[in-house]
Amino acid sequence: MTLRSFINKAIILGFMGLVGFCLAKAIYTGSFMGIVLALVALAAGIYFLFILSKAKAELEAEEATQ
């Protein structure tokens, strides 16, 4: 695993960990707005990873055709 790949995975894991922590704190305190915002951040992170993997697959397919 290259250093760049390791850093990318560490950033993603850190972001998801922070979102999970925020969600847990919001549930613990009973903050509806905190729960909603944490879930929106989680959905945005997952959607970003989906778009990133889709773009990577398209780039590899384009390189394979050339």
Q: Give a yes or no: residue 45 inside a domain.
A: yes
The count of structural domains within the chain is 1
Neighbours of 23 (CB within 10 A): 17
Q: Give a yes or no: residue 46 inside a domain.
A: yes
Q: Give a yes or no: residue 34 inside a domain.
A: yes
Q: Give a yes or no: residue 56 inside a domain.
A: yes
Q: Kind and range of the H or E element at 31? A: none
Q: Give a yes or no: residue 66 inside a domain.
A: no
Q: Give a yes or no: residue 1 inside a domain.
A: no
What range defines the domain where residue 50 resides?
A: 8-61
Residue-wise pLDDT for 20-30, tens only, equals: 999 999 999 99
Q: Provide the residue type at 33 as one letter.
A: M
How much is the mean pLDDT over the chain? Answer: 93
Task: Please list, in sequence order, all residues whose beta carbon lies within 8 angstroms of the beta carbon of residue 41, skipping any fewer than 6 positions away.
Answer: 19, 22
Predicted TM-score (pTM) of the model is: 0.81
Q: Give a yes or no: residue 2 inside a domain.
A: no
Q: Give a yes or no: residue 47 inside a domain.
A: yes
